[in-house]
Structure 1
Amino acid sequence: MKFITDYLRLIVFCSGLLMGIQIPAVVDQYQKRVDAHLTEATDLLAGFQQTADRYFDGNMQALINHYEKSDDAIFRDDAVNIRFMSERVSALQAEMAALQRNLVLRASHVLFFANPKLLSETMQQYSYMILLDPFALIWGVVSAVSLAALLDGLIAGMGFCALRIIRRPRVENDS
């Protein structure tokens, strides 16, 4: 029976190691996706930014306001599109700024605060890999030890509860 629990621990540890190594890989692929979207959005906004630079001292909001106040319906409609692109660039820049911190903060950001659409795209296109860098190995070992300790704790807790139930004195009913 002991060899079964030893193998179970080994399997749990290896599974935790492989899952933990994926954390930096997911963060890396998410960051690359954000960067690609930011590059594309910035390129799409570039012409309007040049106009804002030329006529409004680089103030994109002033350009949008100008379009919104125009008598031309086409310009007013374009103001909605320009605002969308401008807000998207700002949001993606903020996302990239959050991903420029240390690995623990980046992983926390991706886990709890990531852009849901970009995270969904990342996971749909995710390709499992084993990164062989120090951070990935640390994540893997920490995950493996944590998962193994959690399993050991659960098994010990169940054993403790089972012993308490077995050793509980039985109360006889006198009625």
Structure 2
Amino acid sequence: MLRSYLRLLVFTFGLLVGVQVPGFITDYSQRLEAHRLEAQQSLKGFRATAQKFFKGDLDALVAHYRVSDDPVMRSDGQSVAALVSRDAQLEAEWWAMQGAWYQRVWHLITAADRPLLEETYNGYSYQVLLAPQAIAWGLSCGLLLAWLVEGTLLTLAALAGLGRSRQVQSRHWR
């Protein structure tokens, strides 16, 4: 009886963890979009200058700033280069998050922008979504976790010689 309750407890824990996945992905995507729009807004004036003098090439604008004799212009060139780099990074991240659900999950696990991921995690508020996607994630994680924990414990018990007696085992194998 205790084993059944423990199995239910493990399943429920997996279910509650699983329903968090779609909400976390949504929060990360929204935070990414906000940072991306902010980066684009920060570059708006520089894009206009690059359009006017360098046919829209921001890299040419940065190169112009860097070769200037004025130390203020060179310093600004470094700042603009950092803004351009961050904008490109956020744009690439945004495109990576436009794929199918499994591509987004894999991207978050393996290649997400770490500071943005940590920022999302720190600001994440746990929620129980009743959307079909969240329910599917919850059931899948619950079943997987319950199966892994029970399988591991049964294997360890069998290795330790605990569990069913040989008489019971032989009766089931007939």
Specify if TM > 0.5: yes
Encode CA deviations 1:113-167: one digit per residue, 9 max, x unaligned: 1111111111111110112222211111110110010011012102211228x98
Residues 33-42 or 78-87, more deviating? 33-42
Secondary structure in structure 1 of the residue aligned to 2:56? coil
Which residue, 157, 160, 163 being the options, matches 1:159?
157
Aligned counterpart, 1:49:
47
Which residue, 136, 144, 147 being the options, matches 1:146?
144
Aligned counterpart, 2:7:
9
Encode CA deviations 1:53-77: one digit per residue, 9 max, x unaligned: 1111110001111111112211111
Matched letter for residue 138 of structure 1 = A
1:56/1:63 contact within 8 Å kept = yes
Secondary structure in structure 1 of the residue aligned to 2:160? helix
Partners of 1:69 and 1:159 in 2: CA distance: 71
Corresponding position: 1:83 with 2:81: yes
Aligned counterpart, 1:173:
none
Any unmatched runs of 5+ in structure 2? 167-174
Partners of 2:105 and 2:130 in 1: CA distance: 17
Aligned counterpart, 2:62:
64
**What is the percentage of aligned positions where both structures have the same residue?**
38
Corresponding position: 1:29 with 2:27: yes
How many residue pairs are counted as aligned between the two chains?
164
Aligned counterpart, 2:126:
128
Aligned counterpart, 2:100:
102
Matched letter for residue 124 of structure 1 = N
Aligned counterpart, 1:18:
16
Q: CA RMSD in A?
A: 1.5
Matched letter for residue 72 of structure 1 = D
Partners of 1:31 and 1:148 in 2: CA distance: 30
1:12/1:147 contact within 8 Å kept = yes
1:16/1:145 contact within 8 Å kept = yes
**What is the TM-score normalised by the length of structure 2?**
0.90
Aligned counterpart, 2:135:
137
Aligned counterpart, 2:171:
none
Matched letter for residue 25 of structure 1 = G
Secondary structure in structure 2 of the residue aligned to 1:163? coil
Partners of 1:160 and 1:109 in 2: CA distance: 38
Which 4+ stretches in 1 moved above 6 angstroms? none
How far apart are residue 51 of structure 1 and its match? 0.6
